Amino acid sequence: MVLLNLLLIFLFTSFSFGELGRIGLGNAISTGLIDVSVLLFSLVWFLKHRKGHYALWKPIAIFATAALVSLVLNFRNYPQNQLLVSSLYLVRWILYSSLYFVFADVGKKLNKKITKYMVLSGFVILLIGLAQFVLYPSLRNLYYMGWDEHLYRLFSSYLDPNFAGVILVLYFIFVFIKRDELFANKALSYIILILTFLGIVLTYSRGALLMFAVSAVTYAVIIRNWKIIGLTAALFIGLFIILSPRFYLENTNLLRTVSTQERLETSGVALRIWEKNPLGVGFDAYRYAREKYGEKDLSLFGPSHSGAGVDNSFIFVLVTAGIEGILAYLFLLWKIFGLGFRKMKTNKWGMILVVSLSGLIINSLTINSLFYSFIMIWVWIIAGLTESSLRE
C-alpha cells in the first residue's frame, strides 16, 4: 500500500501539470507524465490489489471491442504507421478506464488521501491558471506547436481555455458537494469556490459556463431546491452585463460566432464522411480519413492538436467507431448514470458523478470533452469512488 500511496501522489501531481508534462514523439504521437503515472498506478493495483465485481466492466469491454472492430474493418484503408497511431488512442482509452477499477478497489482504504489530493490538485490548476492569466495571457507564441491562439483567457496548464474551463467546473462540483467533509473551516471552502468560479469565468468559455449552468440545474432538481435555478439565472445575467464591455475582443466576446461556425463545420464534415462509412473510419483514425476526403489540416506549422477530432464527442464516436460504436458508448454512459443514481441521496460520490456527467454531456456537444485525457481521468476516478462507496 505504501507504493500505491506514492503513485497516488504522482498521479495527481501529473494531473495538475496537464499538458506541461506532455512531450511529442513525432508522427502525431505524444505521451507525458500523466500516462506514465496512470500506467504505473494501474499496474501496481493489478498485481497486488485487484478484487471482485465491477458494475461497469461489461459496458467498458463492449465499447472497447466496438472501437477495436472499427479499426480491424479499416485495416486495409491506412498504412501500417497510421493504423498504429490510431490504435494507440484506444490503448490509452483503455488505460484511463482502468482507473475506474483501481479506485473502486482502493477508494475506501485511501479515501481521505484521495480527497485531499483531489482538492490540492484542482487548487494547483486554479493557481497556475490565475497566474498565467496575469503573466502569460497569450498562446500566440506556441502556435507553431499546434496550439490555438488564445488571447486574454485563462487556459492554465492545459493550454486551452475550453478544456481548462471544464476541469474547473468539475473541480467546483466536487468541492461544492463535498465541502462539509473536506473543510472544517467553511470560510475556506467558500473562498476556494469563489476563486474557482472566477477561474471558470476568466476562461471565457461558453461551453464551460453552459456546463456550469446545466450542472447547477441538475443539482437543484436532485435536491429539489428551486431557488438554485433562480440564483443561477440571476448570476449569469449579471455576468453577461459585467463582461459585456470586453465583447469588442473576439476572444472574450461571449456572443462570438466565428468559433461556433467552425465547430458546426467540423461536425458537418464528419457527418458527410460518416454517411460514406456507416461502420466508422476506425477509432481515432479520423485525421487520416479526413485527408482522404480532401479535408486536410491546414495549420501552418504542422498538425494542430484539434486535427484528429471533431468538436462534438458523439459525432466523433459515430464517425470513427460507426453505428455499433455510438450504441456501445451510449450504453456505457447509461450504465455510468445508473451507477451514480444508486443511493444517490445518501451517496455524495454518486451525486458528484451524476451532476458532473450531466453538465459534461452538454459541454461535449460543443467540444470533444468526453475524450479529452484529463477529463476522462477525472470522470473515471469519480466513477470508481462511487462504486467503492456503494460496496458493503
Q: What is the reported pLDDT for 23? A: 77
Q: What is the reported pLDDT for 199? A: 97
Q: What is the DSSP string of 56-100?
A: THHHHHHHHHHHHHHHHHTTTTS-HHHHHHHHHHHHHHHHHHHHH
pTM, 2 dp:
0.93
Q: Is residue 170 part of a domain?
A: yes
Q: What is the reported pLDDT for 290? A: 87
The number of beta carbons lying within 10 Å of the beta carbon of residue 311 is 24
Whole-number Å distance between alpha carbons of 182 and 171: 13
CA 66 to chain centre: 21
For 369, which DSSP code? G
Q: Is residue 250 part of a domain?
A: yes
Q: What is the reported pLDDT for 224? A: 92
SS3 (DSSP) at 302: coil
Q: Is residue 25 part of a domain?
A: no
Q: What is the mean pLDDT of each successive set of 10 residues along the chain, which is 392 residues long?
A: 88 94 69 92 84 90 97 91 90 96 91 95 97 86 60 89 97 96 91 97 94 97 92 91 78 75 88 94 91 64 53 96 97 97 89 98 96 97 95 70
Q: And the C-alpha cell for 79?
A: 498504412
Q: Is residue 46 part of a domain?
A: yes
Q: Is residue 24 part of a domain?
A: no
Whole-number Å distance between alpha carbons of 191 and 159: 25
CA 34 to chain centre: 14
Mean confidence (pLDDT) of the chain: 89
Residues in the chain, total: 392
Q: Is residue 147 part of a domain?
A: yes
Q: What is the reported pLDDT for 150? A: 67
Overall domain count for the chain: 1
Whole-number Å distance between alpha carbons of 198 and 126: 9
Q: And the C-alpha cell for 93?
A: 482509452
Residue 115 sits at φ, ψ, to 5 deg, of -65, -40
Query: Which residues have CB under 8 Å from 9's CB, separation 6+?
Result: 117
Q: What is the pLDDT of residues 250-271, one digit of tens each?
A: 677 787 777 788 888 889 999 9
For residues 364 and 314, is the Cβ–Cβ distance under 8 A?
yes
Domain, as residue range, for 252: 2-19+30-390
Q: Is residue 47 part of a domain?
A: yes
Q: Is residue 114 part of a domain?
A: yes
